[in-house]
Structure 1
Amino acid sequence: MLITRRRALTGLALLPVALCASTLVRAAGPKLPKVDIVSFEPALTESLLGLGVAPMAVVNAGYYREFVAYPEMPDDVLDLGPSIEPNLEYLQRLKPGLIIGTSWQLEGTLLRRIAPLRTFDIYTSNAQPYRNAGQVMLDLGALVDRRDEARALLEQTDRLLDDLRAKLTSISDRPVYIARLNPDGRHLLLFGAKGMYQAVLERLGLRNAYQGRTNAWGGSPAVGIETLLEHPEASLLYYTNPREAVAAQRRLNNSPIWRALPMIREGRIHALPRFYPSGGLLTAQRLALSITEQLLALEANHA
């Protein structure tokens, strides 16, 4: 096994029932009302579904269902194909009232010949994705006449993160790495500045152990696993892409560097569900719950 540790009471069991993820994210049922909008960005699709409406069509519906997953996308949302080559002929036949996406997806394209465009950006040069995600939720709420729902979601998320922060006070002095394990067994994708992982850690009163350079959405790919030695006292929360998990586990088990890491030897490591790293406000909710769950579980293991 990649990790050997005693199974302890999970962190969610230590949280009030009112904070369970199922109470936070509106389930998207088959009768969810549609809006005359096509979404090119999973974070915007997530936000619309959280507001209780579904876009008429999205780019790469399969990607949303695999990488974002919640709120659940109704089966009758149309799929325009992959984001690198959406079916523009089909899109033109749909005659949507509006196409939404990020600036880099829509600006400078010919899509405005098909429908009006509107851009919403969470990951920008101001490096405040949590605040930006809240503003995007409010803007989308105004767009689809769900202003009250948008304000409620923003207030709910703020309260949730404040409550979780209070529960983590006793362990907030230990830094945390958040990583994706690469299948080569030698490198990690570490999450740091500019991204939602960093923003959520800060809101939870936790310190990100990784202070290196990152890309626009907060990731630093291909970082050597020896980087984790910079903060041997840290905990490591990680995920692995399912198709890569077996190879990553086997190669890491054979790595003397990995086996020598204090966090590995001392069991300060825990798996996270996979999250869309460029998600919106509802991703922040689920990420905060999961981080709290795993860190409280680690604390219970070492109590």
Structure 2
Amino acid sequence: MPITRRRALTGLALLPVALCGLPVVRAGDPTLPKVDIVSFEPALTESLLGLGVAPRAVVNAGFYREFVASPQLPGDVIDLGPSIEPNLEYLQRLAPELIIGTSWQLEGTLLSRIAPLRTFDIYTANAQPYRNAGQVLLDLGALVERRAEAQALLEQTDRLLEQLRVRLAPVSHRPVYIARLNPDGRHLLLFGAKGMYQAVLERLGLRNAYQGRTNAWGGSPAVGIETLLEQPDASLLYYTNPREALAAQRRLDNSPIWRALPMIREGRALGLPRFYPSGGLLTAQRLALSITEQLLAMETKHA
């Protein structure tokens, strides 16, 4: 039975983050305790691993390892196959105590015949993903008896972003575009309202240069690169799918519009690692660290 899965998710590489007093998760770590839970959502898997426990099985482990990457998923976590059509026969044989995922992944399915279901939603109509991610972390902490670890991680993340906000104060006057460059060299995916990118920018005291409409996870795909002319004084932080990077850069180098952009001419554009746009609190940490690093490097370059 196929489980409908959002297909427009963009994969993102992540920066390592040291978590104050929290366990470091490494691939294949035999000491990492397992909980008898199957996770259908990478952000929930990320959160469990950040609390120092691993799910027994996940849907599409390859997707997690490529697009979320950190905390690392132990090699002995069972992979139930692709998210659009997980191996339900294998899942039934596992008979887990609980299956977790988002509402749109689990509601209206027959998975409840296999195990109890519980949904956790970070990206909702209230468009407060940072706050929601913190609450999801606390709820998961209670579920797996890691309440103290969840509270510590939440407080540590708040402190980190406040510290980075202070560091970024000298450059906070300049708006910031965050984009994924498309391989056609003419379009990009801009991140704006509703998503974690927007939430992190706000926590860092920065203004998002893109004010257009976005989808549920904060992306606006297939926007023409000329849109960047709407905020000529902005900085641009961007990434490209590594498999498409050379083709995209070649086309952009030949684009008169791209070359004419003020942020390109004036060196106010720098690359970001890929980040999972629908991630949780640990994604927010790594995203905030990377944004800070790049913007301060840009400021130093122009000092």
Task: Normalising by structure 1, report the TM-score.
Answer: 0.93
User: Equivalent residue for 2:186?
Assistant: 186
d(CA) in 2 for partners of 1:66, 1:293: 23
User: Equivalent residue for 2:127?
Assistant: 127
Structure 1, residues 155-190: CA drift from partner, whole Å, max 9, x if none? 000000000000000110000000000000000000
Q: Is residue 54 of structure 2 the alignment partner of residue 28 of structure 1?
A: no
User: Equivalent residue for 1:65?
Assistant: 65
User: Equivalent residue for 1:12?
Assistant: none
Structure 1, residues 248-275: CA drift from partner, whole Å, max 9, x if none? 0000000000000000000001110100
User: Equivalent residue for 1:216?
Assistant: 216
Q: CA RMSD in A?
A: 1.2
- Residue 125 of structure 1: SS of its match in structure 2? coil
User: Equivalent residue for 2:145?
Assistant: 145
Letter in 1 for 2:275: F
Letter in 1 for 2:118: R
Tell me by how many angstroms 1:21 deviates: 2.1
User: Equivalent residue for 1:13?
Assistant: none
User: Equivalent residue for 1:227?
Assistant: 227
Identity of aligned pairs, percent? 84
User: Equivalent residue for 1:251?
Assistant: 251
d(CA) in 1 for partners of 2:146, 2:18: 21
d(CA) in 2 for partners of 1:297, 1:64: 30
Letter in 1 for 2:18: S
- Residue 185 of structure 1: SS of its match in structure 2? coil
Of 42-51 and 240-249, deviating more is: 240-249
Structure 1, residues 21-67: CA drift from partner, whole Å, max 9, x if none? 23467421312100000000000000000000000000000000000
Matches within 5 A, 1:152-301: 152-301=152-301
d(CA) in 1 for partners of 2:267, 2:60: 38
Structure 1, residues 64-104: CA drift from partner, whole Å, max 9, x if none? 00000000110000000000000000000001000000000
d(CA) in 1 for partners of 2:117, 2:218: 26
Contact 1:27–1:72, Cα closer than 8 Å, also in 2: no
Q: Which runs of 5+ in 1 are unaligned?
A: 1-19
Letter in 2 for 1:108: G
d(CA) in 2 for partners of 1:33, 1:162: 32
d(CA) in 1 for partners of 2:261, 2:42: 36
Matches within 5 A, 1:108-119: 108-119=108-119
- Residue 149 of structure 1: SS of its match in structure 2? helix
Letter in 1 for 2:149: E
Contact 1:26–1:71, Cα closer than 8 Å, also in 2: no
In the alignment of these two chains, the number of paired residues is 285
Letter in 2 for 1:98: L
d(CA) in 2 for partners of 1:199, 1:295: 17
User: Equivalent residue for 1:8?
Assistant: none
Letter in 1 for 2:61: A
Letter in 2 for 1:107: E
- Residue 215 of structure 1: SS of its match in structure 2? coil
Q: Which runs of 5+ in 2 are unaligned?
A: 1-15
Task: Normalising by structure 2, report the TM-score.
Answer: 0.93
- Residue 150 of structure 2: SS of its match in structure 1? helix
- Residue 155 of structure 2: SS of its match in structure 1? helix
- Residue 178 of structure 1: SS of its match in structure 2? strand
d(CA) in 2 for partners of 1:300, 1:26: 34
d(CA) in 2 for partners of 1:247, 1:101: 36
d(CA) in 2 for partners of 1:181, 1:140: 34
